Amino acid sequence: DTGVSQDPRHKITKRGQNVTFRCDPISEHNRLYWYRQTLGQGPEFLTYFQNEAQLEKSRLLSDRFSAERPKGSFSTLEIQRTEQGDSAMYLCASSPGDSFQETQYFGPGTRLLVL
C-alpha cells in the first residue's frame, strides 16, 4: 500500500490556461474526495465520488472545474481558463467506502500557482 498519490506535485501556469491534476487513491478504496486549500486556511471540500459516480459537488466547484473518475480508480480534476484566485493546494483523499465515519487518507497535494 503506497498511499494516495497526486501528480504533479507543483504546477505553475499562466492565467487563462487549462490544467489537469491526477489522483491515484489507495487500492480498492471506493470513495475519493477533492479539497482545495488556500494559504492559512483549512481545506475546503470540492467534490466526492463513490466508485465512478460523482455524488456531491460544492458550490465552490464553478463551471470551470470538472472532475472525473471514469473507471472508479484514479480521478482527474481539470480547471479551465485558470484565474489567479485558483492558486491553491489541491488535495485528494480516499476512503474504503464502508462508513461515513471512516478515516480519509490524504495525498500530498498539488500546489497550483496561476500567474
Partner 1 sequence: DAKTTQPNSMESNEEEPVHLPCNHSTISGTDYIHWYRQLPSQGPEYVIHGLTSNVNNRMASLAIAEDRKSSTLILHRATLRDAAVYYCILRDVRQGGKLIFGQGTELSVKP
By CB under 8 A, name the binding residues for partner 1.
4, 31, 33, 35, 41-45, 48, 55-56, 91, 93, 95, 100-109
| Closer Cβ to partner 1, 14 or 101, answer by number | 101
Decide whether 72 or 108 has the Cβ nearer to partner 1: 108
Q: How far is the CB of 1 from partner 1 (least distance, A)?
A: 15
CA geometry: angle at 85 spanning 83 and 90, to 5°? 100
Which C-beta is closer to partner 1: that of 42 or that of 70? 42
Residue 85: strand, helix, or coil: helix
Q: How far is the CB of 2 from partner 1 (least distance, A)?
A: 14
- Alpha-carbon distances of 2 from 34, 36, 89, 99, rounded to whole Å: 19, 22, 21, 22
Nearest distance from C-beta of residue 67 to partner 1, angstroms: 14
C-alpha distances in Å from residue 64, one per residue of 12, 21, 54, 108, 111: 18, 14, 16, 24, 18
Least spacing, CB of residue 38 vs partner 1, in Å: 12
